[in-house]
Structure 1
Amino acid sequence: MRNDYFTRYDGVEPPDFTPMSKRRTLVWQGLAGATVGLGLWYLQWRWTQSLNPDALTFSIVVALVETLFFIGTLIFYFDIWQEQDTPAKPAPQTRKDAALDDTDDPISVDIFLTTFDEAPEVVEPSITDAQALRHPAGVRIKIHVLDDGNRPEFAQMSERLGVNYISRNNNLGFKAGNLRNALFQTSGDFVVILDADTRVFPGLLENTLGYFRDPKVAWVQTPHWFYDIPQGQEWGAWLHAKFGARAGWLAKPLKMVSGMEHVGRDPFLSDPALFFDVIQRRRNRHGASFCCGAGSIHRREAVFRAALCRKGEDLSKLSARLTCAAPNAAVELQPFRFHVSEDIYTSMLLQSDAQAGWKSVYHPQVECRMLSPWSLKAWATQRLKYAGGTFDIMLHDNPLRHRGMPWQTKLHYAATFWSYLSALWAPVLLLAPAISLFTGMAPVAAYSVDFFSHFLPVLLVGELAMLAACKTHNIHAGRLSALATLPIQLRALWLVLLGRKPKFPTTPKTPILSDGLRFVAPNIALLLVMLAAAVYGGLATFQHWPGHSVSLLVVNLFWLGWNALAVGRFVLSVLWNPQTELSVNSHPIPQEGELPNALSGKTV
């Protein structure tokens, strides 16, 4: 591990996520309403006047997929309709202030730092940053290293740094099991969950504990911020380094074609700002933002109450569970549900407790920093975990069937599920241009003025609505990522349908050079199909083969090229090399397989 890997990014400042202005909100909502109206108008015309009788099955399938995407748009618009931040309050100074009991006793907070196979160099900065947390008046803090690897060197490091060390003899339940083991050996009123690479800023508790003055708040989630996302090189500098000064003229056209200012910036589209500042932040208006693991603060009472309710145990045992107890006192109790997506699963179960009425708070400002995936293997591992966990929950314990969950919260979860389910029908629109070019069949009766007069308005107004809704965030990154991850999402769904339980893989977070071609092989195959379709369609048009026309060629080549740019985005990421980001000098970036296991991953 390079000793300067972390320090080189210490000066990077976190973003300031400003609230959405009233004027921008009105613009977004007006455009959203117009998009819905135009979309209904388009679909009515599409189903009644534009179906192609010469290719009826193909035409109906495409129209059905367009309808499904429109339904997804409606759900998504509800999901992000309006910001409503929870007003900040000063940190409580007594247990009474935090709605714990009626005493003026101090509040205790446990800091859980989970680790499995990370290197000490990854974890030690997280410990020292946690030790720098400011102690709000009346709050006692204790830091615990939760080592699921049971490693002597971590016990020694913990002793040297003066923090508590907790391990266990098995990995039952993986991260959720690691958390459960620690919960039964600690007694803090609140629990802060950090991953091995999560480095908190000093004001975390000062800025978040105040939300717990509301006795219904079960947890507070803060944004994830990857402080080491590669910034890449400006096109001119990259061209000069690769091809010499004469190639500099290509910088401007390459910017226009690629839509990117820099080569290699965020090569795996890892920046989560759009998800946290738009989606999570706006779910907060219904207390429905879900836990995302690292950077979250939990009320101990809430997670234990939910676990006891799931087991059908008497809630009178709750007070006993909140105190230190032997881990074997609740072998089957799962305060955090054992699952690959234990964070969202536990959130869902808490929000279904109608009697307790638990809710979450999304705190919109960055309070900690963490490392991003720096290889295609890390990216693919992370995406497979997310998709597999979501599909498993959706198929086996769908929150939409939970009677105690408010309908607004159910719709927010529906937006998440629908986005993943779209992997089933997105390939139709992705491949429709290629099918048209190969067969000469069009999904509409004609590419006429009537078609474009219905189609273009909903497309353009919808794009303006998204630009207004998402503030200054990159709306294209999410679309590119969705298309690039289609093979991974379909694989995850297939594994779940086969009855294979989602696994708990670690996400490699250190810069490793590895063969990424195997992760983008489906994308390459798809690009070859698109290229073949373009060549075949062009040849068929100029040879005047039946069904082929210039209008069919031009329209479908446009959409084919658009889709190819999206699919090819991740193919180009194979060419990205962390050597361009790190000054390696005499410390080369290790190849995959050269690192000990302890240096290769991050507990998720």
Structure 2
Amino acid sequence: MTEPSPTPPRPRPSIRFAIIRVLAVLSVILGTNYIVWRWLASINWDAWWIAVPLVLAETYSLIDTFLFCLTMWRARERPLPVSAPQGTADVFITTYDEPIDLVMTTARAAQRIAYPHQTWILDDGARPGLQEAAAAAGIGYITRSDDWVGKPRHAKAGNLNSALFETDGEFLLILDADQVPDPLILHRTLGYFADDPTVALVQTPQFFTNVDEADPLGAQAPLFYGPIQQGKDGWNAAFFCGSNAVLRREALMQLGIIGYVREITDSTRRALRTAEQLIARESTATQDATLRGELTELLGHIRDARREIAAGHPIADATYRVREAVDSASRSVVARDLAAIQADLDAIADLPLQRDSELGVLVVDDEGLDRLAAADLSPLGAIEAVSALLSTLNIDRADEAQPVQPIATISVTEDMATAMQLHSLGWSSVYHHELLARGLAPEDLRTMLTQRLRWAQGTLQVMLRDNPLIKRGLSFGQRIMYFATMWSYLSGFAAVIYLIAPVLYLLMGVMPVSAWSVDFFARFLPYFVVNQLLFLVVGRGMRTWRGQQYSLALFPVWIQACWSAAMNVWFSRPLTFAVTKKDGRDERGVPWGRIWPQLTAIVVLVIAAVIGLARLAVGSADGTGTLVNTAWVLYDLVVLSVIIQAARYRGPQATVAAVSDATHIPDPEGRP
């Protein structure tokens, strides 16, 4: 099977990039001119309930255009590294429940990598059959220890974190179970680490051998694994995509240790802040001057500890002094309490008692209860609470299987989160644009939808938990590049408006714009044409239409991802993690329950077009408006038609066996 080159013939980079920059500037200028006019002069306020959402959706699209233009502004085509490959290497093949034959195909290909290395199968399914197959082939096998039982597993991130502490290679090549590597993958990538000691990550493209020319599931992503990653690379923001990447162990371990220290520091600060509030409240409430003095002294120790930690002093030293002060205060209060308890007993003995006729016991009357309630009881409970807070500081992170977690665990997409953390610490990344591994893509619509939902959920989790726009350590370009990826998953809401607006006009004559005038076309058409030209030049012959289709056609998935990610981050509602099926089609058939919004939209759009044209024929509708909105509906139908194609898809024509061929993949540049 001949693979399509990810970089077709093109003009000299300097000329091409100059054209891209000119088109990018024009797109932003023309788009801004159009949107400003839309806001100031064209909104139909009589139908504000659809007019305002529509202009908001268009504004979202303009911001998306601006982010894409920034991405491409510094697109980088790297030469091969200058330095020879060096350093020890481990190859990690992550697996959970993929077929053993498939995993072993990848593992044997990894064994044949020409650069000296150790191959490891990371089996999160702990399957004896796979362990035996690995042993027979002389391949390392790692599964999680008993330390992980009953603890958060963190899916693939946990699998990698567990293996990091059982291996020692300086560099890690991470492969999914289906990604068969080229024998020269380490020779091609390790040189970057020698060229630049700040490089923590080298990412290469993902390419799928079981995808035919039609590719109705949109598995291949030539625009992303090409111009977009090259654009991010120009801003030092090319990120880890989960597989086909080489990472520096030193960088990951630094990330894990810093994360551990930050977690302990944050938990200590929270504990001391709570302790300060408890003691301050008790000190204010007590009437005993001696006790108030002791509590004030303890409060001073707590505040000193908070200042020391803020100044970077060792946590252990600061909390030790607080513990000593707590113990001293406890002993003093206990001694005083012993005397107070005796006094309370004497007071109780003097209380008026009466016998309960039904129970036959002595009880305290209401007057006695009032006297006890008014008594000034010991604040020992508050001091003991402070002691308990300090004793439960999570120094060893007992809630986790291992204290140090180098691969980020804040998201179900550990790859982007880890890359962003590395960039924030000052490490750099490289995108190497050469096919050096071949894998398997989803072969049915159900699996594809599950995969895309997981990607979107994970990306949005990162945005909500660790927003790059306010993350310390990132450069301006890195903030924008990460945010651009996250922003793209909000498109589902804009898509709904783009589907509703023409339907409302064709069915009921509701106009979101004040008029379909010359001003509208004079502003919109140049913006639209230049924007499409920009995509053509950037794509330089690539088949990018499928990606554009799915950006709109998967609007229910993007909306579901936004909702579920928000519920997970804000209300701790768990997300399910599903491993992408790699052994053929899901035989459960078409997931009608998951694509009914798109099918409903198709039916409604068709009905709207028919009624709109009928109204035009009888003279009850405006000709220009009807034609514009009918064209809009036709565009939406063409985009949504990909869902029908995907639902009818019955698998690739090429055989899965193609993935077992581990011969060298030629470089598209013709380099040896």
TM-score scaled by length of structure 2? 0.72
The aligned counterpart of 2:609 is: 534
Pair 278,418 (structure 1): closer, same or farther in 2 beyond 3 Å: same
> What is the rounded CA distance, in whole Å, between the counterparts of 1:328 and 1:33 in structure 2?
51
Change in 2 beyond 3 A, CA 1:541/1:13: closer
Query: Greater shift after overlay, 504-513 or 402-411?
Result: 504-513
- CA pair 583-278 structure 1, distance change in 2 beyond 3 A: closer
Percent of aligned pairs with the same amino acid? 34
2:345 corresponds to which residue?
A: none
Whether contact under 8 Å (1:111, 1:144) holds in the other structure is yes
Note if contact 1:62-1:428 (Cα within 8 Å) is conserved in structure 2: yes
Counterpart pick for 1:206 among 167, 187, 192:
187
Counterpart Cα distance in 1 of 2:637 and 2:543? 19
Q: Is 1:283 aligned to residue 232 of structure 2?
A: yes
What is residue 108 of structure 2 aligned with on the other side? Answer: 128
Alignment: residue pair count? 510
Classify 1:129/1:431 alpha carbon distance in 2 versus 1 (closer, same or farther; 3 Å): same
**Residue 12 (structure 1) aligns with:** 2
Q: 1:331 aligns with which of 402, 423, 430?
A: 402
Equivalent of 1:274 in 204, 210, 223: 223
- Aligned equivalents of 1:17, 1:372: Cα separation in 2: 21
Match of 1:478 among 541, 544, 547: 547
Cα distance in 2, alignment partners of residues 56 and 378 from structure 1: 40
Contact persistence 2:205–2:436 (CA under 8 A): yes
SS at match of 1:144: strand
Native 8 Å contact 1:375 1:514 kept in 2: no
Please state if 1:146 is matched with 2:138.
no
The 5 A counterparts of 1:80-91 are: 80-90=72-82
By how many angstroms is 1:557 displaced? Answer: 0.8
Q: 1:160 aligns with which of 131, 136, 140?
A: 136
State the partner residue of 1:562: 635
Q: Which residue of 1 aligns with 2:64?
A: 72
1:37 aligns with 2:29: yes
* 1:5-404 alignment runs, 5 A limit: 11-13=1-3, 15-17=5-7, 21-90=13-82, 92=84, 107-135=87-115, 140-168=116-144, 170=149, 172-213=153-194, 214-231=196-213, 265-312=214-261, 331-338=402-409, 339-353=411-425, 357-404=426-473
- SS of match in other structure, 1:282: helix
SS at match of 2:215: coil
- How far does residue 479 in structure 1 lie from its aligned partner after superposition? 1.4
Deviation at 1:526, TM superposition (A): 1.0
2: distance between equivalents of 1:172 and 1:43? 47
| 1:201 aligned partner, one-letter code | D
Residue 123 of structure 1: SS of its match in structure 2?
A: helix
For residues 545-599 of structure 1, give each alpha carbon's deviation from its aligned partner in whole angstroms, at most 9, with x where no partner exists. 5xx3222221111101110111121122211212755599xxxxxxxxxxxxxxx
Q: Deviations over 1:384-412 (max 9, x none)?
A: 10111111111122122211111110010
Question: CA distance change for structure 1 residues 579 and 282 in 2, over 3 Å: closer, same or farther?
Answer: closer
Q: Report the equivalent of 2:308.
A: none
Q: Over residues 160-191 of structure 1, what are the superposed CA-to-partner deviations in whole Å (9 max), with x where a residue is unaligned?
A: 11111111255812211111111111111111
Paired residues of 2:212 and 2:652 also in contact (CA < 8 A): no
Pair member with larger Rg: 2
Please state how far the C-alpha of 1:424 moved relative to its aligned partner. 2.1
Q: Give me the CA root mean square deviation.
A: 2.5
Task: Report Cα offsets for 1:187-244 as digits up to 9, x if no partner.
Answer: 111111111111000110111000001110011101101122123xxxxxxxxxxxxx
Taking the aligned partners of 2:431 and 2:99, their CA distance within structure 1 comes to 31
Partner of 2:317: none
SS in 2 for 1:312: helix
Asked if the contact 1:376–1:519 (Cα under 8 Å) also holds between the matched residues in 2, the reply is: no
Between stretches 453-462 and 189-198, larger displacement belongs to 453-462
Query: How far does the alpha carbon of each residue in 1:77-122 deviate from its partner, in whole angstroms, 9 at most, with x for none?
Result: 101223223442255465xxxxxxxxxxxx2111111111011121
In structure 1, list runs of 5 or more residues that go unmatched: 1-10, 95-106, 232-264, 316-326, 585-604
Q: Whole-Å Cα distance in 1 between the matches of residues 656 and 174 of structure 2?
A: 33
Change (3 A) 1:312 1:535: same
Determine if the alignment matches structure 1 residue 578 to structure 2 residue 651: yes
Instruction: Indicate conservation of the 8 Å contact 1:39/1:70, yes or no.
Output: yes
Equivalent position of 1:251 in the other structure: none
Instruction: Mark the runs of 5 or more structure 2 residues left unpaired by the alignment.
Output: 265-311, 313-397, 658-672
1:506 maps to 579
| Alpha-carbon contact 1:134-1:203 (below 8 Å) kept | yes
Q: In 2, Cα distance between the equivalents of 1:183 and 1:25?
A: 41
CA distance in 2: counterparts of 1:148 and 1:112, whole angstroms: 12
Structure 1 residue 329 displacement after superposition: 11
Q: Which amino acid aligns with 2:250?
A: E
- Indicate if the aligned counterparts of 2:491 and 2:552 stay in contact, CA closer than 8 A: no
Task: Identify which range, 14-23 or 185-194, moves more after superposition.
Answer: 14-23
What is residue 390 of structure 2 aligned with on the other side? none
The secondary structure found in structure 2 opposite 1:290 is: coil
User: Secondary structure of the residue that 1:429 maps to in structure 2?
Assistant: helix
1:252 aligned partner: none
- Kept in 1, the 8 Å contact 2:210–2:656? The answer is no
Cα offset, 1:434, TM superposition: 0.6
Residues 92 and 119, structure 2, Cα contact 8 Å, conserved in 1: yes
